[in-house]
Amino acid sequence: MNNTVLEGRGLAKTFFGGFGGRKSRVFENVSIGLCSGETLGLMGPSGCGKSTLARILLLLVKPDKGDVFFQGRRVTGLRGKELLLFRRKVQFISQRPESFFDPRIRLGDSILEPLSFYGGRRKAEEGRERLKELLAQTKLTDELLVRYPHQVSGGEIQRLSLCRALLLKPEILILDEPTSMLDVSVQAQLLRILKELKAEHGLSYLFITHDREAAEFMCDRIQVL
Amino acid sequence: MTEAAGRTKSGIIVDGLSVAFHLPKGDVRALDGVSAHFPDGEITGIIGESGCGKSVLGLAILGLLPSYASAEGTIMLEGQPLEPGTARRRLGRELGLIPQNPSESLNPSRTVKAHIQEALLPLKLSGKERRERARELLSAFGFPDPDPILRAYPHELSGGMQQRVLCAVGAACSPRWILADEPTKGLDKELRAQVQETLLSLRGQGVRSMVVITHDLLLARGLCRRIAVMYGGQILETGPRVLDHPLHPYSRAFLAALPENGFQSIPGTAPGAGERFSGCPFAPRCELAKARCRRERPAAYRPEPERVVRCFEYE
Ligand SMILES: Nc1ncnc2c1ncn2[C@@H]1O[C@H](COP(=O)(O)OP(=O)(O)OP(=O)(O)O)[C@@H](O)[C@H]1O
Ligand SMILES: Nc1ncnc2c1ncn2[C@@H]1O[C@H](COP(=O)(O)OP(=O)(O)OP(=O)(O)O)[C@@H](O)[C@H]1O
Ligand code: SF4
Ligand SMILES: [Mg+2]
Ligand SMILES: [Mg+2]
């Protein structure tokens, strides 16, 4: 398909040395293509390699074989400025959202930091306004921003990590179990917001989940690993 | 005084528990006069919106609140006051915790084996028995081949694998009470069913009672006889048939948000932990709210046996 924005071709990954020196082969020859403006679901049993595949597509983990393409260009091994640009355009909500926040830094500073990094002071000011909106949309209050990561609840940090990613106005969002710590009501709200944002800004989502109902509600198609 | 007092002494009785975190920029009130009875020999589920105070209630019972938190009210275990120090000493052996957050609970520089063996220490087993028990635990929580898992470090495991290791660590000593905070998050359907089965089967092995905090309403239905519904730092409803037959307007709105009803959230936002209410905490979002609801806090009404509902509609 010609409107594929993020693609992995013939990917293989084996971890060496883990498990006390064992070799663990995660997958061999996996291909995946995310089209512009779509939500692609990624499902499969625990431990099958969904998060690993996400990390490869995000250029956080190197595949043993295969390549990653972004907007038609090969990006495996990308470095320097270009890698930074890629990182801004392709954002990630980790399955363990707390791991994306420095435990010694206040949440508000962590959330706004990438923005001033990429855009300078003016962007940071705009960001503050936008963050207020995002907090309200995800049913949070800005009182949380002065706290440290261990001072908010599981579902709160999960939503804050989403705010952090959306603030950078990415083109692609990879969501790894983004509602695993949310109740049914906040989950419903969040999924609806994600749909709205997608329609508004033409985002594309790779949506990793174990929740069949959420996948069917969100996704245009589903790939099983 | 409250619904808990005056009833049977068995189990955990929480009475008028308020918890506040004192932060430099002001206090955060996480619990606001929680009273509840978790009966001995039963599995009680706690459900409610994200941020309503479920984990804080669990930490308070186990004496694990940070030093900048203050707590008022009492917690009794089997008729004895449960002070934070006593609770912490009983942790593992008598009171087991399956925590919500793997990254904060698993030490990245220690193997799974080290975690489980440490959890097993109070049992004073021989080396061989300990290894056997560790394997048994892991296979019960869905690892058919436990040996490589025992040698793994936490970062070498997937999210769902870490979750199950936490369950194994919390259940290691077959404590009389287990407090499980989101034990099935991030697991697929089959593993969720397996964790549910395993938790149920623990009851034949020394574990008598559990408190299960969960967003997984299927798990709550399959595991728990009794459900407590929390909102804004309070318990608004408890009883055995809450999931099938909710009475409190909040419980009803919450259960109407189930995915099979088309992903509709409850309109409005839950109160922030900074807010205090003199009346009913759900009043700003409740369709039935009257002037009195905003002024006065509803007492604990008992519209049917074993059911407690804090709403004036049941006065
Ligand atoms: N750093 C590592 N070293 C060794 N093995 C690893 C490492 N990271 C992941 N693995 C292994 O790779 C496999 C895939 O892990 P991954 O996290 O991608 O699974 P997943 O599909 O996301 O599972 P879950 O649904 O449980 O999150 C697992 O068997 C895991 O143990
Ligand atoms: N250490 C802390 N310091 C300050 N506030 C805290 C702390 N821990 C929790 N809180 C606040 O107390 C409230 C209750 O938190 P708690 O973790 O109990 O929520 P929860 O019901 O478990 O939510 P979730 O379902 O998202 O895990 C939240 O508003 C949270 O931000
Ligand atoms: S007490 Fe009033 S506001 Fe609260 S749930 Fe009942 S009717 Fe609604
Ligand atoms: Mg994963
Ligand atoms: Mg919690």
- Domains of chain B and CATH, by start: 12-314 (3.40.50.300)
Distances A132 to A108, A126, B39, B199 between C-alpha atoms, Å: 11, 10, 43, 41
Render pLDDT for B236-273 as a digit per residue (tens, 0 to 9): 999 999 999 999 999 999 999 998 888 999 998 888 76
Q: Could you identify the atom of ligand 1 that is nearest to the CA of residue B161?
A: 26
Contact A154 B258 (CB under 8 A): no
Query: Of the given ranges (A14-28, B29-43, B96-110), which has the lowest mean pLDDT?
Result: A14-28
DSSP of B163-211: HHHHHHHHHTT--SEEEEESTTTT--HHHHHHHHHHHHHHGGGT--EEE
Q: In this predicted structure, what is the pLDDT of residue B298?
A: 96
Cβ-Cβ contacts under 8 Å, A102 against chain B: none
**What count of other Cβ atoms lies within 10 Å of the Cβ of residue B238?**
28
Q: How far apart are the first and last CA of chain A?
A: 20
**Phi-psi group of B82: left, alpha or beta (phi > 0 → left; psi -120 to 50 → alpha; rest → beta):** beta
Computed over every residue of chain A, the mean pLDDT equals 91
Render pLDDT for B60-93 as a digit per residue (tens, 0 to 9): 999 999 999 999 999 999 888 998 888 888 888 8
Total residue length of chain B: 315
Largest CA distance in chain B: 66
Cβ-Cβ contacts under 8 Å, A181 against chain B: 50, 100, 182, 185, 215
Out of B21, B188, B253, the one facing A45 most closely (by C-beta) is B188
Tell me the backbone φ, ψ of residue B178, rounded to 5 degrees. Answer: -120, 130
Helices (H), chain A: 18-21, 50-57, 80-89, 107-137, 154-167, 184-201, 212-218
Cβ-Cβ contacts under 8 Å, B269 against chain A: 136, 139, 141
How far away, in angstroms, is B55 Cα from ligand 2 center?
Answer: 7
Contact A18, A24 (CB under 8 A): yes
Contact B50 A146 (CB under 8 A): no
Residue B1: which pLDDT band, with cuts at 50, 70 and 90? very low
Assign domain A4-224 to a CATH class: alpha beta
Out of B50, B151, B274, the one facing A155 most closely (by C-beta) is B50
Q: What ipTM was assigned to the predicted interfaces of this complex?
A: 0.90
Closest CA to B137 of B182, B183, B202: B202
Ligand lying nearest the CA atom of residue B281: 3
Q: How many helices (H) and strands (E) does chain A have?
A: 7, 9
Q: In this predicted structure, what is the pLDDT of residue A151?
A: 94
Ligand lying nearest the CA atom of residue B162: 1
Out of A19, A154, A186, the one facing B55 most closely (by C-beta) is A154
The residues with which A174 forms a beta bridge, in sequence order, are A92, A206
Shortest CA gap B313–chain A (Å): 23
Can you say how many angstroms the Cα of residue B20 is from the centroid of all Cα atoms in its chain?
18
Residue B280: which pLDDT band, with cuts at 50, 70 and 90? very high
Query: Which of A19, A60, A213, A216 best probes binding to B when mutated, by most B CB atoms within 10 angstroms?
Result: A19
The residues with which B23 forms a beta bridge, in sequence order, are B26
Tell me the backbone φ, ψ of residue A190, rounded to 5 degrees. Answer: -65, -40
The residues with which A222 forms a beta bridge, in sequence order, are A41
Torsion of CA A110, A115, A117, A121, to 10 degrees: -110
Closest CA to A165 of A151, A179, A154, A175: A175
Label the pairing between strands B69-77 and B12-23: antiparallel
| Ligand 2 pocket list (CB less than 6 A) | A 147, 151-156, 181; B 21, 23, 28, 30, 50-56, 66, 100, 273
Q: In this predicted structure, what is the pLDDT of residue B3?
A: 46
Say what the pTM is: 0.93
State yes or no: pLDDT of B40 exceeds 60: yes
Contact B178, B38 (CB under 8 A): no
Query: Of the given ranges (A10-24, A32-46, A204-218), which has the lowest mean pLDDT?
Result: A10-24
How far away, in angstroms, is A128 Cα from ligand 5 center?
Answer: 27
Q: Give, for B295, the enclosing helix (H) or strand (E).
A: helix B291-295
Indicate the domain borders of chain A: 4-224
Render pLDDT for A88-100 as a digit per residue (tens, 0 to 9): 999 999 998 988 8
Closest CA to B280 of B235, B224, B216: B235
Q: In this predicted structure, what is the pLDDT of residue A200?
A: 87
Residue type, A27: F
| A215: CB partners within 8 A, 6+ apart | A41, A43, A207, A209, A222
Render pLDDT for B12-31 as a digit per residue (tens, 0 to 9): 999 999 999 999 888 999 99
Render pLDDT for A53-105 as a digit per residue (tens, 0 to 9): 999 999 999 999 999 999 999 999 888 899 999 999 999 999 989 888 999 99
